[in-house]
Structure 1
Amino acid sequence: MTLQKRIWDLIVLAIFVFAAAYATAPWFAFRALKAAAQYEDVQAIGELVDFPAVRRSLTGQLDEAAPAAKPEAPSLWTNPLGVFKRAIEPIAPPEPKVDRYLTVQGISALTRGYAPGAAPLSPPRPETVLARMQAVVRGPYPTIAYWDPNRVRIAVRRPDAKDKVTVFSFQRRALFEWKLVHIRLPGDER
């Protein structure tokens, strides 16, 4: 085998490895989020979640009175009195019911498919290698509902009710960096 053939093989292998890593990076981001929530690693969760974006998405789903899209803020040129009114009105904090979804326990329950506070305790880790392999094969598995080069949606079905699906939307921030920007709750939990 010549040196040129070996170099060509290495280039093809590098392209294949890069493409595989590029395509599976969101899956690993979800797994990292699930593991960070399970082990209560607050710093890792902070690196994986865009909290203002997720808070906005959950507030819109949990508040029946919230409009689907907020009206545009008043402009000084089009509505000067509206600008002053908005500047002096008190800023209301977000609904407290959103906060239970953004805790470590809430994110852990959501990554397993349950509502916060409704998730059963995690089963203890199996002792033997065979039992661990059976637990991995048994599932449940999150599935990729949508894949785009810059946005991925991962669906998690509730183990006891297959019709209830929680969807996590991740957005690319760098070549291999993904952040959680949206959580869509099942219809009956909104």
Structure 2
Amino acid sequence: MFKTLSIAIIVAVLVALFGFAIGPVWAFYDLRSAAESEDIKSLSELVAFDDVRASLRAQLLAEAKGDVTAAPPPPSVLRDPIGAIGRAITDIAAPPPKTPIVDVDSYLTAKGLLALSYGAGKDANLVEPREFSPKPPMPRILYWSIDRARLGIKQPDIGVTVFTMKRKGLFAWQITHIGLPDPEALEATGDAASPAADFGPDAK
């Protein structure tokens, strides 16, 4: 009986350690499931909306500003004094540039979060998740520590969407940041970086 009890304790400890280690992956699939079923209460527990909203807004604003065509340099006073004076008058009369408007909250709906979990990137607020990716891609662990983890969702032509999670309990994790794919990095490498480990039926 003592031997049986010892084996049961060892198994329980191993299961607890496994659950402790694999918690971020469970949290990610919990997010996907809650988004599919539009379970707002569960999503509010799984996602730190204020933190994620701030992170997405910064990324979308940076991309929106980067899409604006750079203005030509002003005329030289020495080479073109009339043009330089005209440009100065125009700059004074012109209204200040407007800050690009980005609809961050459209990414934080159940549908938007589901599309982000499929790796839709900046188009996550526009696509139909199931049509975008009929076979949901599996998460890959990019980083894991005792209290923080990062999971990546790779789409070949888009890049890697990174979900950063923070531990909220022994087995509970919460998403605090969603990193959108970087098109420039994808163009530079020709493909998204391949993270270390897959978790899903197709994992090798």
Task: Specify if TM > 0.5.
Answer: yes
1:175 aligns with 2:181: no
Which secondary structure does the structure 2 equivalent of 1:174 belong to?
A: coil
Structure 1 residue aligned with 2:118: 112
Q: Distance in 2 between matches of 1:57 and 1:121?
A: 22
- Which amino acid in structure 2 is aligned with residue 25 of structure 1? G
Shift of 1:111: 0.5
Structure 2 residue aligned with 1:151: 148
Structure 2 residue aligned with 1:41: 39
Which secondary structure does the structure 1 equivalent of 2:169 belong to?
A: coil
Shift of 1:98: 1.5
Structure 2 residue aligned with 1:18: 16
Shift of 1:10: 1.5
Which secondary structure does the structure 2 equivalent of 1:100 belong to?
A: helix
Structure 2 CA distance for partners of 1:176 and 1:121, relative to 1, 3 Å: closer
1:98 aligns with 2:104: yes
Structure 2 residue aligned with 1:142: 139
Q: Distance in 1 between matches of 2:60 and 2:105?
A: 11
2:115–2:124 CA contact under 8 A, matched in 1: yes
The Cα RMSD (Å) is: 2.3
Shift of 1:15: 1.0
Higher Rg: 2
Identity %: 36
- Which amino acid in structure 2 is aligned with residue 41 of structure 1? D
**Structure 1: gaps spanning 5 or more residues:** 66-94, 124-134
